[in-house]
Structure 1
Amino acid sequence: MRRRLIQSTLAVVLVVIAVFGVSLVIVESRTISNSAQERVDSEALRLASIVDSRILENEDITAEILRSQVGKEQYAVIRIPRKPPIELGVKPEGDVIHYTADGEEGETVTVQEPRSTVTREVGRTLLIIGAVALLAVIAAVLLAIRQANRLASPLTDLAETAERLGSGDPRPRHKRYGVPELDRVADVLDSSAERIGRMLTAERRLAADASHQLRTPLTALSMRLEEITLTDDPDIVKEEANVALTQVERLTDVVERLLTNSRDPRTGSAVSFDLDEVIQQQLAEWRPAYRSSGRAIVSSGKRHLRAVGTPGAVAQVLAALIENSLMHGGGTVALRTRVTGNQAVVEVTDEGAGVPADLGNRIFERTISGRNSTGIGLAVARDLAEADGGRLELLQAQPPVFGLFLSRTPPAHKPDADQPMVR
C-alpha cells in the first residue's frame, strides 16, 4: 500500500508538471522570440532617428561615430543615398532576426541579431523550469512518503490489534491516528476488545464458580453412592438413593442458578419460602462432615420464619458460609435466626480466629482469602444473595459472624403483559 500511494502521488505530480511545464515552455519561448524581435525593431528605429538628426544638422556620419550605438551581438547596415553603405558590428552567420527602418531623408537602417541569442535565453528558461520541476518532484516524493507512512502505519497497528484480538489478548490499545476513518476503525476494535474481555471474564468467572459450587454437591453425592455400594440392606440402599436423588436435584439447581447469573446476575426468581426448612436441610447435609472433623453444627433463634428469595440460592449461600467455617474456622458452628425490621437474618458464626484485620470486608472480593483457598466462595455467595434483593455482610470479624439478610415482604407480581388488567 505504501508503494502504491507513493507511485500514485508521483504520477499525479508528473502529469501536472508535464501539462503545465510544456505550456509554460511554449509561452516563454514565444515571449522570448517576440521580445528579441521587438528589441531589434526598436534598435533599427532608434538608429534611423540618429542618422536623420545628423543629416539635418550636416554632421558627419561614419562607422566610428555610430559604432557605440549598436549592441554587442547586433549588426547594422546604414544606406544613405549617394553614399557607400556603412556597416556596424560583425555580420552574424546562420539564421538571424532583422528589421529595416526607413528614415525621413531617404536612408534605410537594417539591424540584425543572431537567433542563437533567443535560443540561449530559451535554454536558460528551460533550465530554470526543469530545476523547479525537479524540486517539485522531490517535494512530492517526500510528501508522498510521509502521507503513505501516516496512512500505512496506522493500518499496520490496526492489523496487529486485530491479530491480538484473534489470539485471545483483548486489551484495548486506545491509540488514535488523527484520521477520522482510521480512528473509527480503532474505536470499533477497542469496543470489540472490551466486549471480548468482558465475555472472557464472564466465562472464566462461570468456570471458576461452577468448579467451586459443584464441588460440595458432587462430593456429597459421591459419598451417598459409596454408601450404596458398601451395603446390601435394601432399606439403606433406598434411603441413600433418595438422598442421592435430592443431591442430584440440588446439583441441577446449582447449575441452573450459575447459568442464570452468568447471563444476568440481577435476574432472580424470588418467592416466599420457609427459612427453617432450608436451614435444617443444610444442617442434615453438613453434620456428617463436621462429625468426621470432631466438631458440631447447631441452629438457634426465631423459628417458623418466612423469607423472600430463591430457596436454592439461599441454600448455596448458607453452604458457602458453613463450608468456610469448616475449612477456616474452629469449634462449634452456629446458625442463628432473628428478625430486624422487615428482614429475616441468618447469622453464621464459629469459635475460630476470625477474619484478619487487614482483610475486613475485602473478604468478599474474588481471589481474596485469609488462607490457601480459591477466594471464590464468599464472592459467589454475595452475588447469589444480591440477585434476589438480599445481602451478605461480615457483621463481626473476631469471632467471625456473617449475616444473610433476606426480605420478609412477598414480591409484588407484575401483571402479565399478554393479559389485560382487570379494572
Structure 2
Amino acid sequence: MRRRLINSTLAVVLVVIAVFGVSLVIVETRTISNSAQESVDSEALRLISVVESRLLEDERITPVLLSQQIASKRYALIEIPGRAPLELGKRPTGSVISSTAEGERGEKVTVEESSSAVTREVGRTLMIIGAVALLAIVSAVLLAVRQANKLTSPLTDLAETAERLGSGDPRPRHKRYGVPELDRVADVLDASAERIARMLTAERRLAADASHQLRTPLTALSMRIEEISVTDDPDTVKEEANIALTQVERLTDVVERLLTNARDPRTGSAVVFDLDEVVKQQIEEWRPAYRSAGRAIVRSGKQGLRAVGTPGAVAQVLAALIENSLMHGGGTVALRTRVTGNQAVIEVTDEGPGVRPDLGARIFERTISGRNSTGIGLAVARDLAEADGGRLELLQQQPAVFALFLSRVALKRQEPERPVR
C-alpha cells in the first residue's frame, strides 16, 4: 500500500507538471519570439526615422552616424534611391529575424538578427522550467513518502492491535493518529478490547466463584452419601437420602445463582423468609465438620426473625462465614441473631486469633487472605449480600466478628414466600 500511495501521488504530480509545463513552454517561447521581433521592428522604425530626418535637412548620411542607432549584433541595410546602399554590421547566416521599414521618399531600411539569440533565450527558459519541475517532483516524492508513512504506519498498528485481540490480549492501546477515519477505527478496536476484557474477567470470576461456591455443597453431599454407604439401617438411609436430596436442591440453587450473577450481578430475587430456618439449616449442615475438627458450632440471640432476601444467597453467605471460621478461626463458633432498627443482623464469631490489622480494611477484596487460601469466599459473600440489598461487614478484628445485615421491611412489590431449601 505504501508503494501504491507513492506511485499514485507521483503520477498526479507528473500529469500536472506535464500539462502546465508544456503550456508554459509554449507561452514562453511565443513571448520570447514576439519580444525579439518587436525589438527588430522598433529598430527598423528608428533607423528609417533618422534617415528621413537627414534627407529632409539635406544632411549627410554616413555609416558612422547610423551605426550608433543599431545594436552591435544586428545587421542593417539602408537603401536610398539614387545612392549606393549602406550596410551596417555583419549579415547573419541561417535563420534570421527580419524587419523592413520604408520612408515617404522611397528609402527602405531592413534590419536582421540571427534567431540563435532567441533560441538561447528559449533554452534558458526551458532550463528554468525544468529545474522548477524537478524541484516539484522531488518535493512530491518527499511529500508522498511522508503521507504514505502517515497512513501506513497507523494501519500497521491497527492490524497489530486486531491480531493481539485475536490472540487473547485484550489490552486497549489508546493510541491515536490524527486521522479521523483511522482514529475512529482505533476507538472501535479499543472499545472492543475493553468489552472482551470485561467478558474474560467475568468468565474467570464465574469460574473462580463456581469452584469456591460449589465446593461446600459437594462436600456436604459426599458426606451424606458416605453415611448412606456405611449404614444398613433403612431409617438412617432414608434420613440421609432426604438430606442428600436437600443438598442437591441447594447445589442447584447455587448454580442458578452463579449463572444469574454472571449475567447481571445486580439482579436479585428477594423475598420474605424465615431467618431461623436458614440459620438452623447451616448449623446442622456444618456440625459434623466441626465435630470432626474437635470444635463446636452454636447459635444464640433473638429468634422468630423474618428478613427480606434470597434464602439460598443468605445460606451461601453464612456458609462462607462458617467455613472461614473453620479454616482460619478457633474454638467455638457462634451465630448470634439480633435486631438493629429495621434490620435483622446475623453475627458469626469464633475464639480464634482474628484478622490481622493490615488485612482489616481489605478483607473483602478478592485474592486477599489471612492464610494460604484463595481469598474468594468473603468477596463472593459480600457480592451475594449486596445483590439483594443487604451488606456484609467486619465489625471486630480480634476476635473476628462478621455481621450480615438484612432488611426486615418487605419491599413494595413482594413476591410470595417460598420455602427454604
Q: TM-score, normalised by structure 2?
A: 0.96
Distance 2:22 2:15 in 1: 11
Query: Aligned equivalents of 1:75 and 1:240: distance in 2?
Result: 136
SS in 2 for 1:7: helix
Q: Which residue of 1 aligns with 2:419?
A: none
1:345-401 Cα offsets, whole Å, 9 max, x none, are 000001111111112131001111111111110000000001111110111111110
Report the CA distance between 1:80 and its aligned residue. Answer: 1.6
What is the letter of the counterpart of residue 184 of structure 1? R
1:117 counterpart residue number: 117
Aligned length: 415
- The residue number in structure 1 matching 2:135 is 135
Report the Cα distance in structure 2 between the residues aligned to 1:73 and 1:160, rounded to whole angstroms.
Answer: 73
Instruction: State whether structure 2 residue 376 is matched by structure 1 residue 376.
Output: yes
**2:339 aligns to what?**
339
SS at match of 1:130: helix
Give the conservation status (yes or no) of the 8 Å contact 2:76–2:110: yes
Distance in 2, matches of 1:399 and 1:391, equals: 20
SS, match of residue 244 in structure 1: helix
User: Which residue of the partner structure matches residue 19 of structure 2?
Assistant: 19
Partner of 1:94: 94
| 1:179 counterpart residue number | 179
Partner AA of 1:50 in structure 2? V
Distance in 1, matches of 2:168 and 2:412, equals 44
Distance 2:402 2:173 in 1: 42
> Alignment partner of 2:72: what SS?
coil
- In structure 2, the residue matched to 1:158 is 158
Distance 1:414 1:68, change over 3 A: farther
- Cα-to-partner distance string for 1:295-331 (whole Å, 9 max, x where unaligned): 1110000011111111100000000000000111111
| 1:72 CA drift (Å) | 2.9
Structure 2 residue identity aligned to 1:236: T
Q: Aligned residue for 2:299?
A: 299
What runs of 5+ residues in structure 2 fail to find an aligned partner?
A: 416-421
Residues 250 and 312, structure 2, Cα contact 8 Å, conserved in 1? yes
Native 8 Å contact 2:301 2:337 kept in 1: yes
The residue correspondences of 1:348-359 to structure 2 (distance < 5 A) are: 348-359=348-359
Counterparts of 2:361 and 2:217 in 1: how far apart (Å)?
27
| Counterpart code for 2:334 | A
Show the counterpart of 1:276. Answer: 276
Quote how far apart the aligned CAs of 1:234 are: 2.7
Q: Which residue of 2 aligns with 1:208?
A: 208
Amino acid paired to 1:93: T
- Cα gap change, 1:329/1:414 in structure 2, threshold over 3 Å: closer, same or farther? closer
TM-score, structure 1 length as denominator?
Answer: 0.95
Contact 2:271 2:414 in 1 (8 A): no
Task: Kindly provide the amino acid, as one letter, of the partner of residue 154 in structure 2.
Answer: P
Q: Distance in 2 between matches of 1:45 and 1:294?
A: 136
Q: In structure 1, list runs of 5 or more residues that go unmatched.
A: 416-423
Alpha-carbon distance, 1:414 to partner:
7.3
Task: Tell me the secondary structure at the aligned position of residue 41 of structure 2.
Answer: helix
SS of the residue 2:411 aligns to: coil
Q: Assess if the C-alpha contact under 8 Å between 2:295 and 2:332 holds in 1.
A: yes
Q: CA deviation at 1:33?
A: 1.1
1:42 matched residue in structure 2: 42
